[in-house]
Amino acid sequence: MASISSRRLAKELTEIKLEGCPVGIKLVKADDLETWWFTIEVMGDSLYQGEAFTLQFRFDSSYPISAPAVQFVVTDGRQAPIHPHVYSNGHICASILGNEWSPVLSVVAVCVTLQSMLGSCKKKERPVDNDRYVRHAPENPKKTRFHYDDDTV
Amino acid sequence: MSSREPRWYCHECSADMMPIMAPHPICSSCHGDFVEKMENPADDPREFAHPDHGDLDLPPALGALLMAFQGMSERGNSSRSRRRPDNDAGSRITFSILNDDHHRTISIGGPNTLGRSNPEGEGRVPTMSEYLRRDAPTPPTIAGPLMAQYIMALLGHDDPILTRRLSGDFQGAEAGGMGDYVFSQEALDRIITHIMENSNANRPVPASDEVINNLPRDVLLEGSDILEKDCAICKEQFSLQTDDPDELMVVTLPCKHIFHEPCIMPWLKSSGTCPVCRHALVPQPGDPSTSNGNARPGSSSNRHSHSRSRSPGSNSSSQPGLLHAFFGGFGRTNDSSSRHNPDPDPPRSSADRNGRRFPGSWEEGLD
């Protein structure tokens, strides 16, 4: 029997392919049920007009009980958006990817939440501790426990 | 550091320290893994090193030796500034260590060799790694007050007795050992990062076995109105047609949300909350509503997650994306503010017919 994880991912993928993603979000690749790539663009007026970012999801067998590992892709000329919650290595400090993850959330829901996180940004800047974090960051952002101390952005 | 934080002890440094969890605890100063959490004051690993905590008497010879080291190291320091080095030529102790094929000579005391050139070419003080190299043709030697300082560092870093005896500091262990200090920016960064990343403050608390076992369970039966609903975890409709007999068993949480038993169990073991409305089955960190056992889904009683949330848009007026996250993604809309929703056809297959909202707090930001 397929695991809960692969059944749930297969179902999400089918829905994405059938119904498409919300505006500004495109599936780039999902060759397996382990790593998916999306591009996201912020629609309408925003500091990121005309920019597109690549978002990587990595799943393990505990999905959706535990959150996917989500980060911006920063290789091959791709850049992480300059945002107070996005580190230059692509790691994202967002509570829904950590303590506030819920299995009710989905890949598309995460994309849309991050899209809207960018959309509401008032000032393009890196997190204050970017350099220090990036120097010692684990490869997998899920190994980092961020403090979610700021709900204004 | 909070005093409630457990103290750790590194047996390799013989010192208190903050471990780095990587993921198993290792010493932040030597990176060794022979570390111990000091939980029980009656079983303090420091006692092994100093079984007679209350009794500061040292064997007379050892005491004298330590005093001699201390004296030499102090003399070494001061001689650099004002004394004539030759004044130190007095006491000298020499050890010979037979190490494989090499003899190694360690001289303690004697003339201060630090920073002075010397006819035999021994003026340069070897580094520790040079000193420890086995294949050196002429093994370097360390002599003079520097050696005394090495030994003081080795002995002194773990030793409240020494500290007390030699410096009159009777606070002993409170004064801290080597493991309490860092010697480079990198090490400091590592510790700060470690502290930041390992705060337990807001981590979800799992439901206890007792709480889990007492949850009402039902077997799906023909005609049950549960069959019209979806399990929010696997996003499948409840069904009698299933390969897995466990999926005929459903669990209803106190907030009335229903899940397949095999879907909800692993979640409750990592977080004792309802995935849909975040109703807390067991007290959660920073949750003022926990004591209210009747938090309704969608009620505003989960304010804590609003204030803690870094979720975007929680205070902004127009967040089409957010609506997608809650409604598009979960396939429901019963909110007038769906005017923001650019998706022409928001209701999807897995519509929630209970009009519940997810998560309870986030809706506050939508209007």
Point out the least confidently predicted range of A23-27, B129-133, B194-198, B304-308.
Answer: B304-308
- Across-strand partners of B103? B98
H-helix or E-strand spanning residue B304:
helix B303-308
- Across-strand partners of A55? A38, A72
- Tell whether B161 is covered by a domain: no
Sort B17 into a burial class: Cβ within 10 Å, 0-12 / 13-18 / 19+: buried
Window 111-150 of B: residues touching A by CB (8 A cutoff) are none
Mean pLDDT over A119-125 rounds to: 94
Contact assignment for B312 to A113 by CB distance below 8 Å? yes
- Tell whether B30 is covered by a domain: yes
Count Cβ–Cβ pairs < 8 Å, chain A vs chain B.
154
Q: pLDDT tens digit string along B186-196?
A: 777 777 766 66
Instruction: Nearest chain A residue to B242 by CA: give it.
Output: A1
Contact by Cβ (8 Å): B152, B161: no
Q: What is the band of B78 on the pLDDT scale with cuts at 50, 70, 90?
A: very low
Window 121-150 of A: residues touching B by CB (8 A cutoff) are 129, 132-133, 135-136, 143-150
Report which residue type is found at B93.
I
Mean pLDDT over B113-126 rounds to: 46
The DSSP output letter for B129 is H
Q: Which residues of A are catalytic?
A: 93
Domain boundaries, given as residue ranges, for chain A? 4-138
The fourth-level CATH superfamily of domain A4-138 is Ubiquitin Conjugating Enzyme (3.10.110.10)
Phi-psi region of B298 (alpha: psi -120 to 50; beta: other; left: phi over 0): left
Relative to beta strand B102-109, strand A25-29 is unpaired
Q: Is B244 on the interface with A (CB under 8 A)?
A: yes
Q: CA of B317, closest CA in chain A: separation in Å?
A: 10
- Tell whether B307 is covered by a domain: no
Phi-psi region of B261 (alpha: psi -120 to 50; beta: other; left: phi over 0): alpha
Window 30-69 of A: residues touching B by CB (8 A cutoff) are 43, 62, 64-66
- Tell whether B32 is covered by a domain: yes
* B276 vs A contacts (CB less than 8 Å): 102, 104
> Which CATH number belongs to the domain containing residue B249 in this structure?
3.30.40.10
How many domains, in total, are found in chain B? 2
Q: What is the largest CA-CA distance in chain B?
A: 102
Q: Is A89 on the interface with B (CB under 8 A)?
A: no
- Angle (CA) B171-B175-B177 rounded to 5° is 135
For tokens 């102090």, what's the residue? B74
Token readout for B9 is 């002890």
Point out the least confidently predicted range of A11-20, B36-45, B144-153, B344-353.
Answer: B344-353
Q: pLDDT tens digit string along B263-322?
A: 999 999 999 999 999 898 888 876 655 444 343 333 333 333 333 334 333 333 333 434
Q: Which of B248, B271, B294 is the last residue of a domain?
A: B271
How far apart are the C-alpha atoms of B27 and B33, rounded to whole Å? 6
How far apart are the C-alpha atoms of B169 and B320, rounded to whole Å? 65
Range of the domain at B222: 209-271
- Tell whether B196 is covered by a domain: no
Residue B31's SS3 state is coil
Residue B68's SS3 state is helix
Give chain B's length: 367
Query: Is the bond preceding residue B359 a cis peptide, omega within 30 degrees?
Result: yes
For tokens 């608390």, what's the residue? B205
Whole-structure pTM value:
0.51
Burial B86-98 (b: 16+ CB within 10 A, else e): eebeeeeeeeeee
Interface mutation target, options A4, A17, A38, chain B, most CBs of B under 10 Å: A4
